[in-house]
Structure 1
Amino acid sequence: MCGICGFTFEDKTLLKNMCRLIAHRGNDARGFYYDKNISLGHQRLSIIDLEGGKQPIYNENKDICVVYNGEIYNFAELKEELQNLGHKFYTNTDTEVIVHAYEEWGTDCVRKFNGMYAFALWNSKDKELFLARDRLGIKPLYYTIINGSLAFASESKALMILPGFDKTLNKNAIDMYLTFRAVLGQECMFSSVKKLLPGHTLLWKSKKTRIEKYWGVEEKFLEPTEKEIIQNLRSLLEDSVKRHMIADVPVGAFLSGGLDSSAVVALMSKYGTVKTFSVGFGGEFDELKYAKTVSEKFRTDHHEIYVKEDALSLLPKIVWHFDEPVADPAAVPTYVLSRETRKKCKVVLTGEGGDEIFAGYEQYKFMTLKERFKGASKAAGSVIGAVPPSLLSYAFPYASRLGMKGIRRARGFLREDGFEKAYMEITSVFNEDDLNAICGSSGYSLEFLKSAMSRYKHPLNKMQLFELENILPDNLLMKVDRMTMAHSLEARVPLLDHRIAEYSFSLHPSIRFRNSEPKYLFKKSVKDILPKEILNRRKQRFFVPIDEWLQKREAKNYIENFYLSGDTHAGLKVNPKYIHNIFQNYDNSKLFYARQLWSLLNMAMWYETFVDKDAGNAL
């Protein structure tokens, strides 16, 4: 895992300053390449070929070079294939495979790679810059075009110090952030910056860009027997975990005690004692007891980490590392977990992706039932407001903590005819009514959602693939990447091997989500190795004491000073009446309003960090 940056002109000082801003991603070595047409920079976190893998890496003639962030898990097979085709290697690193694969197969080389990656390859002979991002967006890559030159970086903060960088806010990005807790798709908070989308490449030549999609899921279903599915899936899982453990440094695992991370640890344990790391706050919702059950079952070297610091004291650092506002409060424990894990490991495997690949989220069940019983759902929507939240909690977790505002949102969900709008009602932090009240909705989030879901026919695929292609890379994987990289820790996600994704989505939703049971096939494939209490436990959201954090006077003061003091913030207009309304009604719907306040707090802190201040001096 590393950090990369560069631009299509020569400026050694600027490149070194960009590298300085992403140095936390890899502090083992720093490398540069310059000529009059290109500047490439690299911050290395050495994982494979510790002595010989310093970047940039070149081909035999040194007319092609690459800077790269990530891991190619099938590099050994590709290296052998390329050597048989006559290519000469001078390192044992996976990076060099990229250079020779490009020589052999051109820009189609990305179709050969199994891994997580973002790289920039310069072909000095053809004056061509080739950027690529892995299929599922595990590794980030940002770019901007200023005065006819292209610049790129692993983190967008490195782009903000470019001469002429435009800090105009993107209204559509604000709309998406408030709706989904993160900015989705290619958009960023600054209109001048774009993300290279997962499964896409960008070719820059003669001051022109060509962006192409090289991977995606198709709705073409196979019809194997259930026995064949379980066998095939288990084989893919075992192979993926084995590949993800390849490293020349210690490898551990994040263990939450949930199904996904527990399965990963179970499969890792075949190869020796696993170092596992769990995080908690203490209290009734803590999952540490489940993690301990798994640790004892597989005799891991287990480490429990408690978050003792005040979350608000950590938030400025977390916001700086994110670049973009991400309103996931689990970033706080992930930051602490990563910091402590790095003291014992340089690489960890995690369970991210299991819910998206294997249909694990609650909204899939709620939306499926709503579609099946449309008439009944409308009738339920008419009476749900009369049911006390305490009784609703028996059917819907957290109903009592969501309060009356949450119940009104549930009623809107049940009454809504439109599929996409109903999905937004049940998943969004701010719905369209909220957005109109707080800042005037551009309508972009709903249109974005409709466009993304229109590519698929089956309702389950609409939801799963929207989340796989958008929520996963721009929220969950963003969180894991930034919080681990803040401490030079590499996180790997074996459940997001693209072969597993392709196989899962080749199965009809009626098989994948049989009897509306979340992760039906995944559970079947690992039932012989996991404890029953892990297999059978009800899915539980990772508990974060967000209400406790927001009750502190410092949090309320920060929000009030930013939004209610009368100060103007260019491009960011928020109705103070909405903020007052949240504070006045907070006790009636704590969990619901806490999520909204957390989103507003993070956006305010992001604005002050990157708009009001210079990115290079923000911390």
Structure 2
Amino acid sequence: MCGIAGVVSTGRPDPALVHRMCDVITHRGPDGAGMHADDRCAMGMRRLAVIDVAGGDQPVRNEDGTVVAVFNGEIYNFAALRAELIRRGHRLRGDGDSECLVHLYEEHGDDLVHRLRGMFAFAIWDTRRRRLLLGRDRVGKKPLYWRSDGSTLSFGSEAKSLLQDPGLDRRLDLVALHHYLSYQYVPAPWTIYQGIRKLPPGHLLTWEEGAVEVRGYWRLDCTPHEVPDETEAAEQLRERLLDAVRVRMVSERPLGAFLSGGVDSSAVVAAMARCSTEPVKTFSIGFDEARYDEREHARLVARRYGTDHHELVVSSSSLDLLPTLTDHFDEPFADSSAIPSFYVARLSREHVTVVLNGDGGDECFGGYRRYALMRALARVPDWAAPRALHRVGGGLVAQTRAGSRPRAVGRILQLLGQPMLDRYASLISVFPPAQQFDLYTAELRAHLAGVDSWALLGEAYAASRAADPLGRLIDADVHTYLPGALLPKVDISTMANSLEARSPLLDHHLMEWAAHLPTRFKLRGGTTKYLLKRAVAPWLPAEIIDRPKMGFAVPLGRWFRGELRDLAWSLLTDQTARSRGLFRPEAVTALLVRHDRGDDESHRIWALVQFELWHRNWLDRAGAPSTAVPTYRDLLARQS
């Protein structure tokens, strides 16, 4: 597990720049560094040593040094790949996984990605052809940013590496901002910075004499297949989960697991216990507000398997973490579960170097409650749900108090009065389009005229091969929400703490098997993750299987009416924020007032707070004296 960065150019790149690009991501790899430089390419890495600790330094090279690679991630089938390469006459110097890349490139060229089982972002420099190949894993567990000006291309595991280039003009991408306020993250290929892009999951990028080509190599195929009966399917799922867990338990450094008390992480811990002769180390986060606290459920699993269990409680007083999050999240990110994710990573790193988690269970097996709601709404025929219902529902929402039954009815009417895809987009959006454009100044509205963030969801839906609308929505989440929000949150939170996270439920063999299941195996009546729950029911306490989904939520609503209220007002309404000319001050104030009066606007406020913190940290202060822009710490000091 590492961080990588580099520059290729038709002229000679600057190795000193690449050193700086690597230095700013030392947290991703505190155990060592490596560098390659020639007349066209300079690239380096920071290493977190997990496999082949003694001999796994990078960059790695083929026998004659004509192919060089840097690599971030883990290749779980590396032992089989090494054996095959040795049989074919290749000489491998170390005992790890990264060296396989250069020899696989010699054998298979760009198609080497199809041989890899794991999570990865890599750069391979072909010195003979003067050609760079960048690759990112199938679902996007490992990030990769890039930038090209026509003659030079730079890349890095984090955007902050690219920001080390003094020639880069840090400017806000307004379209990316618009997408962020829709989805709470900036979707690939955009980043919040003009000129910097993300390589999408399942894609390759080639650079040769200044010419750049990006192309996809994998997409989940959700074409339905014939399936066995439920009993046999559940047995197959258990076997596949055990296999995915087993290959992810290979490590020369201490290993444990995140344990939330939900079905997914509990199933992973149960599988780990079956694959291990030692007690599994488990880590949980709780809150001092009972409705958000899952510790008791996590303890049920920990007691059942005799794990070495560790806990930490998060409170609003812990939010001095926010400046640290802003430093590590190079883009605005509005999923508030980044807070407990960061804390559980920090707790885990005190004891282990590698953790397994339950990420991907909801996307693979239909776990989100919104799927059940969408199926229920779909039972209402179109003729019974005219578009006028949307206006009626909106009026009811506006005239009733938060949390009341009439407000809930109004929300359902709003959804019924929309086309199916708009319904789903409404459920997952932070700011729906009407609220976005009400928030924007006239200048920003004019700039974004015709930009439709919801079209991104529509494109993912249209590309799906699933047989029914609900299956296509689940597939769309695999290609949007999963790599856009869930995986970056975990990667950044863990790597900021020099911790490697592995996700058995996102093993591509398991995902491809699950993708072919009919939707009835995922959602049965009101039961989400139907087959997964049936499969792991013999492993887990009934309280875990039967409990409603909780999610990794934090009490934002209370925090923004209590300890963080004054801070939010100061941050979003001071002269620094108003001077940007992006958001109408009266719209921002109205949002804060509505929340004070009882409406839950906390997620929208959080999105604006995260954008403002990011802007001050990454744009304002980049070219300003250190005292010119009030920071989060400055504002916090004023409140105290």
Q: Does 1:168 align with 2:171?
A: yes
CA RMSD, Structure 1 to Structure 2 (Å): 2.5
Query: Is contact 2:397-2:411 (8 Å) kept?
Result: no
1:12 deviates by: 2.0
1:130 maps to which residue?
133
Q: Rate the CA distance shift 1:594–1:158 in 2: closer, same or farther, 3 A.
A: same
- Alpha-carbon distance in structure 2 between the residues aligned to 1:174 and 1:4: 26
The aligned residue for residue 3 of structure 2 is 3
Given that 1:409 and 1:426 are in contact with CA atoms closer than 8 Å, whether structure 2 keeps it comes out as no
TM-score by length of 1: 0.93
1:85 aligns with 2:95: no
Residue by residue, what CA displacement relative to the aligned partner does 1:403-457 show, whole Å, maximum 9, x if unpaired?
A: 98776544321221x1221112222111011011001364421222222211136
After TM superposition, give the deviation of residue 612 of structure 1 in Å: 0.7
More divergent stretch after superposition (372-381 vs 210-219): 372-381
What is residue 332 of structure 2 aligned with on the other side? 325
Distance 1:148 1:404 in 2: 60
Deviation at 1:168, TM superposition (A): 2.6
Question: Equivalent residue for 2:284?
Answer: 278
| Match 1:575 to one of 584, 590, 600 | 584
Other structure's SS at 1:173 match: helix
Cα distance in 2 between the residues matched to 1:72 and 1:118: 11
Aligned match for 1:502, one of 499, 512, 520? 512
- Cα separation, 1, equivalents of 2:255 and 2:119: 17
Which SS does the other structure have where 1:151 is aligned? Answer: strand
1:316 deviates by 1.3
- What SS does the corresponding residue of 1:86 show, helix, strand or coil? coil
**Which shifted more, 354-363 or 301-310?**
301-310
The answer to whether structure 1 residue 545 and structure 2 residue 555 are counterparts is yes
Secondary structure of 1:444's match?
Answer: coil
Of 577, 593, 601, which residue of structure 1 is paired with 2:609?
601
Within a 5 Å distance, the mapping from 1:278-357 to structure 2 comes to 278-285=284-291, 286-308=293-315, 310-357=317-364
1:117 matched to 2:104: no
Paired position in structure 1 for 2:637: none
Q: Which sits farther off after the overlay, 256-265 or 323-332?
A: 323-332
Match of 1:396 in 2: none
Question: Does the C-alpha gap of structure 1 residues 600 and 39 become closer, same or farther in structure 2, counting only changes over 3 Å?
Answer: same
Q: Deviations over 1:115-148 (max 9, x none)?
A: 0000111111111111000000000000001352
Go from structure 1 to structure 2 and tell me whether the alpha carbon gap of 1:549 and 1:235 turns closer, same or farther (over 3 Å shift).
same
Q: What does residue range 43-442 of structure 1 map to in structure 2 within 5 Å? A: 43-146=46-149, 148-226=151-229, 227-270=231-274, 271=276, 272-285=278-291, 286-308=293-315, 310-374=317-381, 401=403, 408-416=410-418, 418-439=419-440, 440=445, 442=449
| In structure 2, C-alpha distance between the alignment counterparts of 1:31 and 1:402, rounded to whole Å | 59
**Which segment is superposed worse, 65-74 or 515-524?**
515-524
Contact 1:547-1:590 within 8 A present in 2 as well: no
Work out the CA distance in 1 between the residues paired with 2:304 and 2:377.
39
C-alpha distance in structure 2 between counterparts of 1:21 and 1:262, whole Å:
35
Paired with 2:106 and 2:125, the residues of 1 have a C-alpha distance of 12
- The 3 A distance-change label for structure 1 pair 193 and 462 is same
Asked if the contact 1:403–1:588 (Cα under 8 Å) also holds between the matched residues in 2, the reply is: no
Cα deviation for residue 314 of structure 1 reads 1.0
CA distance in 2 between counterparts of 1:151 and 1:388 reads: 49
Against the structure 1 CA distance between its residues 607 and 293, is the aligned structure 2 distance closer, same or farther, given a 3 Å change threshold? same
Equivalent-residue separation in structure 2 for 1:84 and 1:147 (angstroms): 41
Superposition deviation, residue 6 in structure 1: 0.3
The 8 Å contact of residues 7 and 40 in structure 1, kept in 2 or not, is answered as: yes
**Superposition map of 1:34-49 within 5 A:** 34-49=37-52
1:404 and 1:588 in contact (8 A); partners too: no
Q: 1:388 to 1:216 in 2, by over 3 A?
A: closer
SS of residue paired to 1:613: helix
Which structure 2 segments of 5+ residues have no match? 634-640
- How many residues of Structure 1 are paired with residues of Structure 2 in the alignment? 608
3-state SS of paired residue (2:119):
strand
Give the deviation of 1:557 after TM superposition. Answer: 4.0
Measured at CA, do residues 558 and 385 of structure 1 come closer, stay the same or move farther in structure 2, by a change above 3 Å? closer
The one-letter amino acid of 2:582's match is K
Query: C-alpha separation between the residues in 2 aligned to 1:311 and 1:447?
Result: 38
| Contact 1:312/1:555, CA 8 A, preserved across alignment | no
What amino acid maps onto 2:553 in structure 1? F
CA 1:96–1:555 in 2, change beyond 3 Å: closer, same or farther?
Answer: farther
Aligned to 1:395: none
CA distance, structure 2, for counterparts of residue 210 and residue 68 of structure 1: 20
Asked if the contact 2:123/2:134 (under 8 Å) is kept, the reply is: yes
CA deviation profile, 1:75-95 (whole Å, cap 9, x unmatched): 011111111111111100100
Give yes or no for the alignment of 1:475 onto 2:481. no
- Alpha-carbon offset, residue 588 of structure 1: 4.5
Pairwise CA distance, 1:589: 4.3
Q: TM-score, normalised by structure 2?
A: 0.90
Read off the aligned partner of 2:64 and give its amino acid letter.
N
Structure 1: give runs of 5+ residues left out of the alignment: 393-398
Of 316-325 and 377-386, the range deviating more from structure 2: 377-386
- Check 1:462–1:280 CA distance in 2 against 1; reply closer, same or farther (3 A cut): same
Higher mean Cα deviation, 367-376 or 336-345? 367-376
State the 1:366 CA deviation: 1.0
The residue type paired with residue 591 of structure 2 is I
Q: 1:380 to 1:265 in 2, by over 3 A?
A: farther
Is the alpha carbon distance of 1:71 and 1:385 closer, same or farther for their aligned partners in structure 2, counting shifts above 3 Å? same
Q: Which amino acid aligns with 1:445?
A: S
Deviation at 1:462, TM superposition (A): 2.5
CA deviations 1:469-511 (Å, max 9, x no partner) are 1111111111111011111000111100011111111122233
Structure 1 residues 482 and 494 mapped into 2: Cα distance closer, same or farther (>3 Å)? same
Match of 1:448 in 2: 456
Q: Is the contact made by 2:578 and 2:585 (CA closer than 8 Å) also made in structure 1?
A: no
1:104 CA displacement: 0.8
**For 2:397 and 2:193, how far apart are their aligned partners in 1?**
44
8 Å CA contact 1:131–1:201 kept in 2: the answer is yes
